[in-house]
Amino acid sequence: MGNVSSAPPFQGSPDIVLYHAECSDGFGAAWALWKKFPSASFFPVKHGHPPPPDLKDRRVVIVDFSYARPILEAMASETKELLILDHHITAERILDGFSNAYFDQTKSGAVLSWEWAHRTPAPWLLQYIQDKDLWTWALPNSREINAALASYTFDFTVWDRFTQSTLEQEGRAILRYEQELVGKLAAQAAVVEFQGIVVPAVQSA
């Protein structure tokens, strides 16, 4: 387990933050930096897509995401500063030996980003995101909180208003509905043969 204080130096505040799109951990990482650097511009990014334009001479932080090594090397040469904070095992080889990156597989992108930006332990919301993202499910009512969180849009001001008790309450209702739905589907199961094995199956749209 590393210490984010040993991450490569980054002078000043980021101008641009790129974060893993359509992902609670990725947006949690962006929210962590938004809480510290609200004037930065934030862009969700996806694998298979090029980086946003106009990064030349800008201070750029990438959280919970890594591009291919040649792309990162090109970005490092044109940006004023570049830092990557990632935890995905698929990025470990890409980032190995890359001087602009910090990798820690033991933490989620959201917690890693908070610790880098604030140098304090991550708040409860990001701890719960990490609990799901690392698939540990060790925190109380984690499934409820993460179910409720998944029902919200990725909006900084919305996330800023979350309370633990409200998400727990909302999550219980969501999980209760899911359990009821699964029960109804299971009751309609028919026994079929699939690749030589007899299994129960349901058709669901």
Within this chain, do residues 109 and 161 fall inside the same structural domain, yes or no? Answer: no
Within this chain, do residues 52 and 18 fall inside the same structural domain, yes or no? Answer: yes
Distance of CA 34 to the CA centre of its chain: 14
Q: Which amino acid is at 74?
A: A
Within this chain, do residues 174 and 95 fall inside the same structural domain, yes or no? Answer: no
Encode pLDDT of 14-58 as tens digits.
999 999 999 999 999 999 999 999 999 999 999 999 999 999 999
Within this chain, do residues 56 and 116 fall inside the same structural domain, yes or no? Answer: yes
Domain hosting 14: range is 4-121
Within this chain, do residues 16 and 117 fall inside the same structural domain, yes or no? Answer: yes
CATH number at residue 41: 3.40.50
Query: Does the residue 101 lie in any domain?
Result: yes
Within this chain, do residues 54 and 155 fall inside the same structural domain, yes or no? Answer: no
Within this chain, do residues 176 and 105 fall inside the same structural domain, yes or no? Answer: no
Tokens 């004037």 belong to 39
Within this chain, do residues 147 and 184 fall inside the same structural domain, yes or no? Answer: yes
Encode pLDDT of 65-98 as tens digits.
999 999 999 999 999 999 999 999 999 999 999 9
Phi, psi (degrees; rounded to nearest 5) at 194: -130, 115
Angstrom distance (rounded) from CA 19 to CA 49:
13
pTM above 0.75, yes or no: yes
Angstrom distance (rounded) from CA 176 to CA 68:
41
